[in-house]
Structure 1
Amino acid sequence: MIPQDSIKPSSLNKPEGWGIRHLVVFLGFWGFAMSYAMRFNLSIAIVAMVKRNSSNIPIPVLPPLNNSLHHDDLLLSSSHYTYNNKSFSAEKACPIPVHTSGLFGLNSNPAAGGSSDEGEFEWDEVQQGIILGSFFWGYMCTQLPGGIIAQKYGGKWPLGLGLLITAVFALLTPIMARAHIGLLIAARVIQGFGEGLTTPAMHSLLSKWVPPAERGTLASITYSGCSFGTAGIMIASGYLIQENIFGGWPSVFICSGALTLAWFVLWVVFVFDSPEEHPRVGSDELYYIQRSIGDQVSKVKPPTPWKKMATSLPLWVIIVAHTGHTWGLYTLLTELPTYMKTILNFDIKQNSWMSAMPYALMCVTSFIIPPMADVFIKRKWLATVNVRKACQVISHIGGALALIGASYSGCNTTMTVILLTIAGGANGAAFGGFGVNHIDIASNHAGILMGVTNTVANISGFLGPYVAGVLINGNATLERWQIVFYIAAAVYFVDTLVFLLFASADEQPWNRACPTLPPVHNSTANLLESDYDDVVLGREAEQAKNYSSDDDIISV
């Protein structure tokens, strides 16, 4: 029977106001905020967990600065500098002034009391790099299975259960860390297994819920939760640790795990795999989504064309872009708090704020640039592929230039923080670039494509921190950190060049279950009124399927 609210819409225009698709995107935003909070909570916590061992370079403490010498003006461009006839190694570590100074009041004096260096674990830089990267060992293993599961069964439960698993082990992290370093690594690997399901599942949901004209905007809102969650956990961690809540650093894991459990309840209640299945979606919105997406997403799930995918140049281009993005972004995500601590000498609260700034800007950027990209596409000012390339240039070339600048800013804390903030913030534009390119080329297989690219890309997730750890192990100097920044910038340049030369936004022939059908241009205009009946009846068929036996379910 046709639902009571199924009244034929007066027009085919986008329904006004808040819709169920917006609710799905909102909960997706908070889901990814919690996902990244649990993924990178260790990046700040490890600063408080680890003792500052003898392998770190001794840091000179400057006397109070007068007007003739400002600490922010100490650029370590030569091998040594002299202050009050005392020579300091300019390429090893920044000096610590007794009094706070600088544009942000960034400089602290741990030597003057209240030091937060009293950690309880004696892990060297290589061990820390392994711990920080271990999450991605598990994460890359479940990317492809996550895409297959999401395509076959829908994205709701893979995403929800993946974050539930991660939350449980976040709560167990303090116990396992104190028991043995191997158990901590195991906990992080299992968390990676859980979170590996999330991005392919969300891509699958977006391909069913988001019309093409809103794709950049709503996808960017969803995935901006990543930067929001990262910034939020970094800021909160500083206060939780400084105020010794729940014993200090354990509170970082307890709070992020508990909040994710609360989110899981809301996700289960309010999210469904497709508009047809959702009991509360209005018919106007259902019709708008269905007719906008058109035949790009098949009602009968097509088989996965593995061979054609493996030989698809547009897919390989996305893999390269995604890998470059992951290397640069995760190098910052995992290593920036350590840099702020060991080189710029911020205390834990300052560290948390300064480390959060790039991701706060990234969140803002993702709310601005991808929606602007959608406007360019909708008004046909630029071809879709050119919009994707422009976003990629803003994201990665902008980030690369900022990283190179930061590598030369030395102990100018103000300039260093600004440049690193720009480097991280620029990544928000990528949500209008390669980030939605999977859906452009093959929306029927968006979840699997994201699984494929994320699997390859997240090799960088553990390689980046490991390489940084090897480079700075026992020699945490400005010169070594400069190499870390150079590598990330070079990767950005290479992946952008590949994307500019070979990227495509055209729907690929292998996206369709029946290759003889030509790609359909998405449009809500010039549709027959009988299409509306198809949508309503399609909803009835989808809801009826939920009560059918398992034998009736079509498999991939």
Structure 2
Amino acid sequence: MEKSPLLKPNRSRSTGCCHGFGKRHILALISCGGFAVVYALRVNLSVALVAMVNNTEYKKTVHFRNITNTSDGECPNLEPQNSTFSWAEQGEFSWDPKVQGVILGSFFYGYVTTQLIGGCLADKFGGKWLYGVGILTTSVLTIFTPLAARTSPYLLIGIRVLEGIAEGVTYPAMYSMWSKWAPKLEMSFLIALSNAGGPIGTILSFPISGLLCEYGFGGGWPSVFYIFGSIGCLWFVLWSLLAYNSPAVHPTISAEEKHYIQSSLGNTKHRQNMRVPWKQIIFSRPVIALNITTLCGAWGFYTVLTCIPTYMKEILKLDMTQNGLISALPYAVNFVVSVFSGYLADFLRKKQIFSTTSTRKLLSALGLLIQAIGIVGVTLVGCDRPMVILLLTLSVGFGGIVSGGYSINQLDLAPDLTGIIMGISNTFGTIPGIVGPFVAGVITNTGQSRQEWDMVFFISASVSTVGLLVYTLFGSGEEQPWSCSNPTDFLSEGSYQEIDSDAPSMPSYVGSYQPTNFDNPFEGRGEISNLSYYRANINI
């Protein structure tokens, strides 16, 4: 638990100016747009795939039952009994649920490979071009998706893998940029606003993709990929013109805002020469807890993100337009809740109502608990469509509370190594994107029954609960001692060097101080609690 104010040594230098709209907020908005593109490109296939696949042919091979028969627990069709199958049942491709699961998960096969690489490169060279080019590459590949799908499912899988490789650097790169742009007590809100692009992209992608599948050009579903890919290319132009790696290199930032940000964060120039303490990172209890929690939280999120359009159509019997609009509703709530959660986290810390650790644990626990309860609730209400939609909205929407919790914990644990820590944790968070759709495909492979989908949801809720317990017991919001890994020109082990010439003088007792709490070695030493000023070569 923190016993000293978060920014005690330089409190007077971090307040009183630049609390209005500035370049850091412009960065948050542009990066929010980037993440909107990221998620639109990621999830549009989830909707388009429903229109691409010939479900009638597959259902005949598994002795598809009359969809108006509810005696076996299936939901009734909303259409009259003598109606014919819609065009959505007559897609071009005869891919069974297993193949569809592999296609939906293939993006993450590539996505998992570049997380750590992206973090290392961003911390060393800056994140602007990694983030921008990653999204641009994904956008261009998306435009070629219809050609790949009509050539071979294996080529489609290959395109999706390449998209994942390109997009895998985006989150580590952006988090690394925030370690140079986000003042300590604005960090939660700015990052939550930036990350809110994810639900915005999902909100737009689901209904627009549904409409394009039905009314678009090029056969309907191909227009989904042409339009969203083109939007991503246009966004890249805007990013190239307006984004900069740090306040130090921004040509038009005001001197006041630059001083405000830099005085809050301390000197960041030494990061390019830092030695990465890999052993301490890998075996750090808070990092392990963060990795496990990220995996568990992402399982529920990706299960809903990739599989709900199929569930809406196959189980609830909603048409493409209804499917897209209703699938987007939980993410509209998620957007609002995520931004508010970031603001709330900063408020609780700024007013010293809770420590950073308590704030992160509280918001993480609430988000994961609501996510699990909502998903379990879906299994209990049967074919009550309004209740299913309400519970999915509760699960995904209010699950966004974690935006002020573990989702930004990387910057708490190691501000100087944010890109690397984010790369590691997001690698774990990518695993459910690979495994989740595949598991759902295997479970529902015998005919898309409600009982099979209940099993999918129970697994998801159980995994979320594990994440809640792990982070509550082992998570931390304290900067870790190994985050002080020094540049090569630092003094010998155990000694300290002053980074900022304007910082207050070091207390005389520092050289002899031996930490006893390695989760927070500076606990109780308010005079040296601001690690932005003083970096120690501590090897544990």
Same fold flag (TM > 0.5) = yes
Q: Which residue of 1 aligns with 2:49?
A: 46
Equivalent residue letter for 2:285: L
For residues 59-458 of structure 1, what are the structure 2 equivalents within 5 Å? 59-61=66-68, 88-91=70-73, 93-98=74-79, 111=83, 114-295=86-267, 298=270, 301-458=273-430
With 141-150 and 51-60 compared, the bigger mean Cα shift is at 51-60
Equivalent residue letter for 2:192: S
For residue 13 of structure 1, give the secondary structure of its aligned residue in structure 2: coil
Question: Is the 2:180–2:268 Cα contact (8 Å) retained in structure 1?
Answer: no
Identify the match of residue 37 of structure 1 among 37, 40, 54.
40
Q: Which residue of 1 aligns with 2:433?
A: 461
Question: Is the 1:162–1:195 Cα contact (8 Å) retained in structure 2?
Answer: yes
1:456 CA drift (Å): 2.1
1:296 CA drift (Å): 7.2
Distance 1:118 1:315 in 2: 48
Distance 1:191 1:197 in 2: 11
With 282-291 and 110-119 compared, the bigger mean Cα shift is at 110-119
Distance 1:165 1:113 in 2: 38
Q: Which residue of 2 aligns with 1:58?
A: 65
The count of residues paired between Structure 1 and Structure 2 equals: 481
Distance 1:458 1:217 in 2: 24
1:17 CA drift (Å): 2.9
Q: Which residue of 1 aligns with 2:518?
A: none
TM-score (norm 2): 0.85
Q: Which residue of 2 aligns with 1:510?
A: 482
Distance 2:82 2:100 in 1: 22
Distance 1:120 1:339 in 2: 20
Distance 2:475 2:108 in 1: 27
1:474 CA drift (Å): 2.3
Question: Is the 2:14–2:260 Cα contact (8 Å) retained in structure 1?
Answer: no
1:114 CA drift (Å): 4.9
Segments ≥4 residues shifted beyond 6 Å:
517-520
1:244 CA drift (Å): 2.9
Question: Is the 1:44–1:337 Cα contact (8 Å) retained in structure 2?
Answer: yes
1:113 CA drift (Å): 6.8
Alpha-carbon distance change, 387 to 16 in structure 1, aligned in 2, over 3 angstroms? closer
With 292-301 and 34-43 compared, the bigger mean Cα shift is at 292-301
With 138-147 and 352-361 compared, the bigger mean Cα shift is at 352-361
With 169-178 and 18-27 compared, the bigger mean Cα shift is at 18-27
For residue 112 of structure 2, give the secondary structure of its aligned residue in structure 1: helix
Alpha-carbon distance change, 291 to 56 in structure 1, aligned in 2, over 3 angstroms? farther
Question: Is the 2:115–2:169 Cα contact (8 Å) retained in structure 1?
Answer: yes
1:240 CA drift (Å): 1.0
1:88 CA drift (Å): 3.5
Distance 2:126 2:233 in 1: 21
1:245 CA drift (Å): 2.9
1:246 CA drift (Å): 3.4
Question: Is the 2:13–2:264 Cα contact (8 Å) retained in structure 1?
Answer: no
Distance 2:453 2:235 in 1: 38
Question: Is the 1:297–1:443 Cα contact (8 Å) retained in structure 2?
Answer: no
With 425-434 and 149-158 compared, the bigger mean Cα shift is at 425-434
Equivalent residue letter for 2:25: H
1:299 CA drift (Å): 5.4
For residue 266 of structure 2, give the secondary structure of its aligned residue in structure 1: helix
For residue 400 of structure 2, give the secondary structure of its aligned residue in structure 1: helix
For residue 245 of structure 1, give the secondary structure of its aligned residue in structure 2: coil
For residue 231 of structure 2, give the secondary structure of its aligned residue in structure 1: helix
Distance 1:241 1:117 in 2: 12
Question: Is the 2:78–2:318 Cα contact (8 Å) retained in structure 1?
Answer: no
Gap regions ≥5 residues in structure 1: 1-8, 62-86, 100-108, 529-556
TM-score (norm 1): 0.83
Distance 2:223 2:230 in 1: 10
1:479 CA drift (Å): 0.6
Distance 2:461 2:176 in 1: 31
Question: Is the 1:400–1:493 Cα contact (8 Å) retained in structure 2?
Answer: yes
Alpha-carbon distance change, 98 to 385 in structure 1, aligned in 2, over 3 angstroms? same
1:452 CA drift (Å): 0.7
Question: Is the 1:208–1:297 Cα contact (8 Å) retained in structure 2?
Answer: no
For residues 11-26 of structure 1, what are the structure 2 equivalents within 5 Å? 12-26=15-29
Distance 1:215 1:519 in 2: 26
Equivalent residue letter for 1:213: L
Q: Does 1:470 align with 2:473?
A: no
Alpha-carbon distance change, 299 to 476 in structure 1, aligned in 2, over 3 angstroms? closer
Gap regions ≥5 residues in structure 2: 1-11, 487-492, 505-540
For residues 456-535 of structure 1, what are the structure 2 equivalents within 5 Å? 456-514=428-486, 516=494
Distance 2:268 2:239 in 1: 26
1:56 CA drift (Å): 7.3
Distance 2:496 2:412 in 1: 15
1:96 CA drift (Å): 1.5
Question: Is the 1:234–1:356 Cα contact (8 Å) retained in structure 2?
Answer: yes
Q: CA RMSD in A?
A: 2.2
